Amino acid sequence: MKIRKRTSSFRICLALCAVLLCVNVSVCAAVDRLLVKGTSLVNEQGDTVVLKGVSLGWHNWWPRFYNSSAVKELKEQWHCTLLRAAMGVEPEGAYLTNRQKALECMTTVVDAAIENDMYVIVDWHSHGLRTEEAKVFFREMASRYKGVPNVIYEVFNEPVKDSWKKVKKYAEEVIGCIRTVDSEALILVGTPHWDQDIHLAADNPIQNVSNIMYTLHFYAASHKEWLRERADYALKKGLPVFVSECAGMEANGNGEIDMKEWNLWLSWMKKHAVSWAAWSIADKDETCSMLYPSAPDAGWADKDIKEWGHVVKHTLLAK
């Protein structure tokens, strides 16, 4: 990935433009705009781009990690090129019941990612259709970050019970709201059953909309060759795939880390130039949370990082 030299005015621009949600953030960014070409993600020069990084946990349960110091550390110490800000929608204290807190957490992380020359996913972290609320949210986000190439919009985290027909209709409406503001932003579309029915989207993709990709989620101990076969099918049909959430243990977030399957997935993503974000920067007592409860909000020593966190960090640091 080619990174342009930061302009001297960038930090000043960001500071002046990011004061209020209703004010646009500066577009003097130091990263390339991302484009979907075939099944691949490319930069403005046409070079293939593979983004790698981590997802923060639900903001409503782990807001303490939604801070600029943590973002900077994930860039400098973990070599993340991608962050995913998982804004909870339905649970108590999430977007629907505490909108201001949700927006504060989201914009703090997105602004910090822009400042640190990272790509960042604005993730509507929901399991059910909330069409009108999502349209309001994404219209606001697109207005704030219009023209900023760092920002990626994930319009539906993990559809659970909704059919592809319903999810597709929802996505078309939300994408329409974003496109009325920003005609070029990269948009990620969820697929049914926790983002595993990607083959259904491949058979009936969204039409007449450019620069979109479809999300696949896997937990390696549960999702093995059968899901890679589905993904292979989708790619052969020409569907652009983006792994916006993945991990090495069972789908419930617990159990042993299956290193064999994790490495098979890493090889598969490398082979197909698929971008990915590992779950998650959180301190819950579960295998997939990367930090211990005693960990500070940022500035993590090795003792603060759990086994899965070390696996992910090692993967990101590897050449």
Q: Which of 240, 42, 14 is nearest to 117 (CA)?
A: 14
- How far, CA to CA in Å, does 122 sit from each of 190, 272, 301? 13, 24, 28
Kindly report each contact of residues 313-318 with a partner whose C-beta sits within 8 Å and lies 24 or more positions away, as own/partner. 313/77, 313/78, 315/52, 315/266, 315/278, 316/52, 316/53, 316/54, 316/78, 316/79, 316/80, 317/78, 317/79
- How far, CA to CA in Å, does 104 sit from each of 98, 109, 193, 212, 279? 10, 9, 30, 26, 21
Contact present, 49 and 81 (Cβ < 8 Å): no
Q: Which of 284, 319, 106 is nearest to 309 (CA)?
A: 284
Residue type, 200: L
Q: Give the C-alpha separation, 58 to 127, whole Å.
A: 12
Q: Give the C-alpha separation, 155 to 153, whole Å.
A: 6
Contact present, 34 and 43 (Cβ < 8 Å): yes
- How far, CA to CA in Å, does 40 sit from each of 49, 121, 249, 266? 8, 17, 27, 16
Residue type, 179: R
Q: Give the C-alpha separation, 24 to 21, whole Å.
A: 8
Residues that are catalytic: 158, 245
Q: Give the C-alpha separation, 162 to 115, whole Å.
A: 37
